[in-house]
Structures are given as C-alpha cells and as structure tokens.
Amino acid sequence: MTPAGEPMADAYPLPSCPERATLVAVDGSQIYLDERATALYYLTNIGVLIYHHGADIAPECELDPQLFYLDDHIYAEGRLVNNTIVNTRRTKFERDRLAEAAWKCRRDARPLVAIADGPLLFWVGSEIPESEREQQIMPGYYMAMEKVRDIDHLFEGHAALVGYVDKPNSSYVVRLLQLLPPVDDAEDAEPEVFDGLADWALFGVTSDPLLAPGERSALFVQQSPYNQRYADRDPDLEITFFYLNTAMPGETPYLARVEVPMWVARNRELVDAVHALVYSQCQLYGRYPYILARADELAVVQGHEKRELDNMIDLALRRSGLAPDEKGEKPSGKENVWRASRERHSLAKGIR
Amino acid sequence: MMAIEERLVIGHVLRGSTTGFVCGTRINKLDLPQFGAFVEAPCGNGANHGDAVIGLIYAIHVDDDPLVRQLILADNVTPSTREDQRINRMVPVEISVINVGHIANNALRQALPPRPPLSLAEVEMCPPSRMVTFCQRFDFFRLVLNATELPADELLAASLLLAADALDDPRERSAFLVRAGRELARLLSRDLSRLESVLNLIRPAA
C-alpha cells in the first residue's frame, strides 16, 4: 500500500529545503461556449509561473490564451461542446503547457518541480466522445507526464511532477481502514461507522492532529481502476499521494493532498524536496503555494474581460458586414453598450 | 548650442481636471517622480501642438490588493516574491499633481490651464530648463498656498529646492532661494508662524 514501505500512521517531519530549485506552476481558466452569444466560441487561458527558488530574482510569467471557434472545435459528435468537454480540454492544455515549461527549464537549477492545481489522477468520463477521449485527451495527458519523467530520467534527475489538492475531501485512507479486521473490543463495529469520515479528520483534526505543521503522511497509492490504467501505461506514471499540513507553526491544521507519480515516490530524496519546497511555497502565501496563487491570477478570465472580448467580436462582425442577429436572445441595446469597469486599476495582464 | 534634454515619461493620465490630475504608473518606474517635482502633460486633445499643463507632484500612492495583503499576513516576503510584485504584477501607483501653470501658444503662464490633460496623455518630468524658466516668476505660489487637502507648505518648499537644484551656479541657487523667501514673506506676512515654517524648509542645509 505504501510504495516506500512507510508505516501508515507515521508523520514525516519537514526536511531541510534545497537551497536552489526551479518550480513551475500552471493553472487554467476558460470562457464557456454560450449558445446565445453573437458568435459561437469558447476560450481557454493558461497561466504559467516559473519560480527560481533561492535565486532572489523575479519569477517568469507566461500566458497562453486560445480562442476556439471552428466547427471542429465547437461541435463534438454533431452537438455543441458542453462545459465538461471544455474543462477536459483545458486540463489537457494545462498539462501540455506545464510539461513544455518544465522542459524549457530542464537545464535550470535542480530539483525541478512542476506543479499543477488539482489532482494528477485525471480521468475522462463517457460524456467525452470516445474517439477524442482515447485518441487525444488521455494519450496527450500521459505524454505530458512522460515529458516531465524524461527530464528526470534523461537529464540530471530530480524532476518531479506534482498535483496539489487544497482542502481535500477524499477518504482514501479511511476506506483503507474499513478493510482492517475489527479489534477485539469492537467486534460488533459496523463498516458504516466510517461513513462520512474524510481523511482530513484523521490527519488534520484540530484537537490532536496526526500531522504537525510542516509534517507529511506516509505515501499512499490509490487503488482504483483509473490509477491502474496509469500503471498499465507505464509503472512510472501510477499516482501516489501524501497529506501535508501546510499550516504555519502554532496554527490550526490545514491539509493539502500532494500527488506525485511513482517515479517520484520511489526517490526518497525527491519526495523530501517536493515536501520541503511545497511547504516553503505555502509559507510565502499562508497555507497555499504562492506559485499556484500567481498562476491562477494569471489565468483567470474575469467577467468584465469576457464582456470586452464579446464586444470586440461584435465589432469585428459588424465591420465585416455580419451584424449580430437583432432578433436573437441578445442583451438589449442598453445592456450591450461598452461597460468598462469604473475601477481605476485592474491587475489584468493580458487576458486573465 | 543647447543640449537636447531627454524626455522622461513617468506615466499616463488616469483622470484630471483644470485644478490637477492623477497619473498612473508602474512601481518599477518610481525612481524618477518625487514629491514636489515639476511635471507636464499635453493639454486638451492636442489640437494646439505644444500646449501643456504644468504641475507639481503632491502625493504618490502605492495601492494594495488582496495578494499583497495576503503576503504581508504570511510575514515571509522573500526577494523573489518582492521582485515578482514589482516587475511582473501591475501593482498600481498613483501620482497626484496640482496644476500651477500651463503653456499656451508657446507662452508660459502661471495660472490654471483652460483644459485638463486627457486620459492616457503622457506625463513627463519637466526638464531643468523648463523649471528654471517657470520659476523666474512666483505667481504660482498663491495657487499652492491656497490649495486645500494637500501639504501646501511642504510642497512649495520641496518644489523650490528642486528648482534651485536645476541652476548650475551655487550663487544663483542661493539668490533664487532668497528671492523666493522674500516673495513668501510678502504673501504670508499675516501668518508669521507659517512663514517661519516654510522658510525653515527652504533654508540651505548647514
């Protein structure tokens, strides 16, 4: 169950942080397709931040906005793409960009840690057309993981991929406990006593937390058919995880689930580096990694920015003699006027 | 032959009126503007080429945002996060300016401009020659001293010291400040404590 053979109930103290490291973070945002809009489109925007830990220089920022409006993009099996499909494609783009940015940094300071917001264990449901799922999304996702793995295997080692899940509600370890035989004085205990209990209650309960600030749990492997597919593709890609108390010393516990592929889990030195660097990032921002907060800030598309984009599309259509349908369910003329925010400043940088 | 003075653009007009304007800039451009500095911006819509508003910087504001507040709460600011804020993030900086004169048809006037600078007009530091020319007269003192909701005395003193620095000859600098002091004595003859305070502010350092 624990890939590194670590006792399940032990807490692992915060290792010393590497003096130098390269961290790459990615996050994404989107504008969903609106069937009532003047033009049918959806947009994804990916924000990437490259943080040179210990170098005392400004991080590098990258943005990758993409507008999709061709029939091949906005229709799937003859129907307009829904939000789930857009989310799935965006997640795949995020991991592509993360792998590309990590590859670009392959000769920078090690360890190299590529962090995505959300779980690494990504699977695509039946709502995605099978051909797209099996021929594009999942193979592309695996290849992005393998690209980071290749940095580790082919270059100087010490390259990790991380999925960061803030305030997890998962109950993987609790479900594992359900499989244990009952202790002598609890023979009548029913499995239902575990219902509704999440892992944070084990590791981060306020009164007597199993994990002190900065400590991590053992590494676990989630046993699921989905994870088995990763292992079937390549044993290096099977997803493992540990819980981390990201609170500052003296604060109440705050739990994150940190997912890493098996090639990282097998390398104790690399796990220690991930543990220390992720916690270090959380200390910068207070419980949550600074680089992910910044990647999110770069990526997010705000409401007023969507309105500005719609306005630009309207204008371009009119200039081309393709006036929007006046009879459609468009907003009224009053609602459709330019409504730039009256706020004097925005943190916008390109499209957010 | 006169040397061509470099244009030093410090930002762009965010909003303005005939009495003053606010210039927006980025935090990494904050090396140039300072309290009391003379700045100028094109006046109106630029139809009359060369018309400009001349003003004094009386306040520089660095705004915050949720991310900055969170970083301060975390109390673990590193050189990298600090540089990230200053270089990558558009941390807004506002420079407030009081209008003290304008240029119309190539004539310099120490009075409020007929039109304010418009949004996004470039704001630049006045070159030393403009400051020297402008300060040959002291009519703008009254505009500053009568202004409310700004530190008028400190502003006038700071601007006079900067104007004096634009003069090459130390004797000229001293004579300029004496002349300015006399004008202040005339304007503030009924408020001796205020006069003393301003004169103390422009007194050359010992």
* Each residue's pLDDT tens digit, A185-203: 655 556 566 777 888 888 8
Q: What angle do CA A277, A281, A284 make, to 5 degrees?
A: 140
The C-alpha atoms of residue A281 and residue B127 are separated, in whole angstroms, by 45
Instruction: ipTM value, please give it.
Output: 0.75
Q: Which residue has the tokens 């809009």?
A: A37
Percent with pLDDT over 70 in chain B: 96
Cβ contact (<8 Å) for B90 and A349?
A: yes
* Residue B3 domain flag: no
Q: Please count the helices (runs of H) and the strands (runs of E) in chain B.
A: 7, 7
- To test the contact with chain B by mutation, choose from A108, A292, A347 the residue with the greatest count of B C-beta atoms within 10 A, namely A347
Nearest to A39 by CA among A1, A14, A71: A71
Per-residue pLDDT at B139 exceeds 90: yes
Q: How many independent structural domains does chain B possess?
A: 1
In chain A the domains, ranked by start, together with CATH numbers, are 21-299 (3.30.2170)
CA distances from B105 to A177, B5, B55, B123 (A): 86, 21, 18, 19
In chain A, which residues touch B (CB < 8 A)?
51-53, 55-59, 61, 248, 283-286, 290, 293-294, 297, 344-349
Residue A334 banded pLDDT, cuts 50, 70, 90:
very low
Q: How far does the CA of residue B92 sit from the closest CA of chain A (Å)? A: 7
Positive or negative, the Cα torsion across A316, A318, A321, A322?
A: positive
Res A196: pLDDT: 78
Cβ contact (<8 Å) for A286 and B73?
A: yes
Task: Give every CB contact of residue A18 below 8 A, 6+ residues apart in sequence.
Answer: A53, A54, A111, A273, A276, A277
> Position B144: which residue type?
V
Res A349: pLDDT: 37
Per-residue pLDDT at B30 exceeds 90: no
Nearest CB partner across the interface for A286, out of B70, B80, B87: B70
Size of interface A-B (CB pairs under 8 A): 63
User: Which pair of tokens denotes residue B18?
Assistant: 């005939």
* Residue B122 domain flag: yes
For residue A140, the surrounding DSSP H or E stretch is helix A138-154
Cβ contact (<8 Å) for B74 and A283?
A: yes
Q: How far does the CA of residue B106 sit from the closest CA of chain A (Å)? A: 33
Per-residue pLDDT at A350 exceeds 50: no
Res A185: pLDDT: 60
Res A186: pLDDT: 58
The C-alpha atoms of residue B161 and residue B176 are separated, in whole angstroms, by 10
Res A293: pLDDT: 96
Res A187: pLDDT: 57
Residue A5 banded pLDDT, cuts 50, 70, 90:
confident
Neighbours of A103 (CB within 10 A): 18
Residue B133 banded pLDDT, cuts 50, 70, 90:
very high
Nearest CB partner across the interface for A345, out of B63, B71, B73: B63
The C-alpha atoms of residue B140 and residue B143 are separated, in whole angstroms, by 5
Chain B environment of A349 (Cβ under 8 Å) = 88-90
Mean pLDDT (whole number) for A293-311 = 93
Cβ contact (<8 Å) for B90 and A345?
A: yes
Q: Name the least confident of A105-114, A142-151, A258-267, B23-32.
A: B23-32
User: Which pair of tokens denotes residue A334?
Assistant: 């009053």
Chain B environment of A52 (Cβ under 8 Å) = 80
To the nearest 10 degrees (0 to 180), the angle between helices B170-187 and B152-165 is 160
Residue pLDDT, tens place only, A235-273: 999 999 999 999 998 888 999 999 999 999 999 999 999
Per-residue pLDDT at B12 exceeds 90: yes
* Residue B1 domain flag: no
Domain hosting residue B53, numbered range: 10-202
Per-residue pLDDT at A342 exceeds 60: no
Mean pLDDT (whole number) for A92-119 = 96
Alpha helices in A197-267, H assignment, sequence order: 199-203, 225-233, 262-265
Per-residue pLDDT at B145 exceeds 80: yes
Nearest CB partner across the interface for B84, out of A59, A344, A345: A59
Q: How far does the CA of residue B85 sit from the closest CA of chain A (Å)? A: 8
Nearest CB partner across the interface for A51, out of B63, B77, B80: B80
Calculate the average pLDDT of chain A: 87
* Residue B91 domain flag: yes
To the nearest 10 degrees (0 to 180), the angle between helices B66-74 and A290-299 is 180
Res A326: pLDDT: 52
Q: Please count the helices (runs of H) and the strands (runs of E) in chain A.
A: 12, 10
Residue pLDDT, tens place only, B73-104: 888 899 999 989 888 887 778 999 999 999 99
* Residue B4 domain flag: no
